[in-house]
Amino acid sequence: MKNFWKNYKFTIILLCAIIIGAIAGIIFKEDAKIVSPLGDLFLNLLLVIIVPLIFLTISTSIAKMKEPKRLGKIMRTIVLIFIGTSLVAVLVGFASTYFIDLVNTSDSEAIRDSLTANPVEDTEDTELNLLGRTVEAISVNDFTKLLSKDNIIAIVVFSILFGIAMRMAKDKAEPLLNLLLSANEVVLKLVKIIMYYAPIGLGCYFAALVGTFGATIAVGYLKTFILYTVVAVLFYFIAYTIYAYIAAGKKGVVVFWKNVLPSTLTSLATCSSAACIPVNVETSKKMGVSNDIAETIIPLGTSFHKDGSIIGSVFKIMFLVCLFGTDISSFEGIIQVLAVALVANLLITAVPIGGGTISETMIITMMGYPIEALPILTIIAAIIDPPATMLNVVGDTSSSMLCARVVDGKDWMNKKKEENAVS
């Protein structure tokens, strides 16, 4: 019980604060707006930290990557598997939400107006062609503009290039890398300090929303949580059984479900993909995956492969789509939702809180919504965190089996036994 409280303390406190805020909003109605500035304070703190968080997290994670064993074939296989399984996850998330209104659109106009006085960006603007809009999104013409929250994608691109440049410089970049790693640790501690205030900030934010607009938004969150949990459980049993069968037939299915429980329970107990790396590597090895594949794909998967987060991103996007009444019925609209959900998770590292904030900010920016919607996505992230982490972790385990099937052939389990016998 003590370990349960330790691992879920923040989530429980946050959910309690949101519930208390909802009750206060229902009781005090319009008068609940008096606590709105306390919610705005939390939003301001998040927006201030987002630029250094993105730069330091992404650039240092790329710069400190080690060369994996059997780099060529393993890395090519990992990339293909991550892309393939991520596409499956994003399609499942979209199919689960496309025909369901997570928020009652007819009741959400006042909520939209309250988030910002500026109109929502028109995604059908044709003044620039596709290439021009892409260049405008990924780059700026002045370094100082990289320091603005309005150019999130440009910051991400610059951070990737900066990290690659440090890797190319090798030993000469070591002092700079150490400096940025130290700065990154400080920023992560700062994020932790800000999140101490999250229960108060989000509780007040939610109280003001519910007090002003009634229970529409609260019902939307409840509907999102229930639907996501159902989808996560079905995906866990169906998708990963199929992946295990593809990897090694019926024997693979048996081996997978015989060994996957420790990873599942650890993910639910910790709500951290990074914390699950040791047990997940060991689980993959017990399934018959070779050491070098397991020790490569699991850490990389923690950073670049997140089935649960991708499905969660689709839910976040569709929540905002319903809230803002955005029309995504066209082919272009559907592709935009799928692409944003993938891109917003592709570069997120194993930072439990900061990484999610980066992803949510990218979603808002790429979909053209006001940044004031960030706390709405933060609340969704909090309520779906346990099942999302479970899919993130177990998805890496099943991916290790698929990778072993490609790299070591269809008899990969027997090869592992032979290696163990020799050693």
* pLDDT for position 122: 44
Enter the pTM of the model: 0.72
Residue 422 has pLDDT above 70, yes or no: no
Q: Are 241 and 253 in contact (CB under 8 A)?
A: yes
Residue 62 has pLDDT above 90, yes or no: no
Write out pLDDT tens, residues 77-91: 888 998 899 899 999
* Residue at token pair 């070098």: 292
Chain centre distance of CA 257? 25
Q: How confident is the model at residue 420 (pLDDT cuts 50, 70, 90)?
A: low
Residue 397 has pLDDT above 90, yes or no: yes
Q: How confident is the model at residue 120 (pLDDT cuts 50, 70, 90)?
A: very low
* pLDDT for position 96: 92
Write out pLDDT tens, residues 198-225: 889 888 887 887 787 666 677 888 889 9
Look up residue 196 and give its two tokens: 């101490």
Residue 87's contacts (CB-CB under 8 Å, 6 or more residues apart) are 342
Q: How confident is the model at residue 125 (pLDDT cuts 50, 70, 90)?
A: very low
Write out pLDDT tens, residues 275-298: 788 888 889 988 998 887 887 788
The three-state DSSP-derived secondary structure of 258-288 is: HHCHHHHHHHHHHCCCHHHHHHHHHHHHHCC
Structural Rg of the chain based on CA atoms: 22
CATH code at position 415: 1.10.3860
Residue 46 belongs to what domain range?
A: 2-422
The three-state DSSP-derived secondary structure of the chain is: CHHHHHHHHHHHHHHHHHHHHHHHHHHHHHHHHHHHHHHHHHHHHHHHHHHHHHHHHHHHHHHCCCCCCCHHHHHHHHHHHHHHHHHHHHHHHHHHHCCCCCCCHHHCHHHHHHHCCCCCCCCCCCCCCHHHHHHHHHCCCCHHHHHCHHHHHHHHHHHHHHHHHHHHHHHHHHHHHHHHHHHHHHHHHHHHHHHHCHHHHHHHHHHHHHHHHCCHHHHHHHHHHHHHHHHHHHHHHHHHHHHHHHHHHHHHHHHHHHHCHHHHHHHHHHCCCHHHHHHHHHHHHHCCCCHHHHHHHHHHHHHHCCHHHHHHHHHHHHHHHHHHCCCCCCHHHHHHHHHHHHHHHHCCCCCCCHHHHHHHHHHHHHHCCCHHHHHHHHHHHHHCHHHHHHHHHHHHHHHHHHHHHHHHCCCHHHHHHHHHHHC
Residue range 107-134: mean pLDDT, rounded:
54
Look up residue 404 and give its two tokens: 């072993």
* pLDDT for position 89: 93
Residue 1's contacts (CB-CB under 8 Å, 6 or more residues apart) are none
Number of domains in the chain: 1
Comparing 158 with 6, the larger pLDDT belongs to 158
Distance CA 34, CA 371 (A): 22
* pLDDT for position 132: 67
Distance CA 349, CA 340 (A): 17
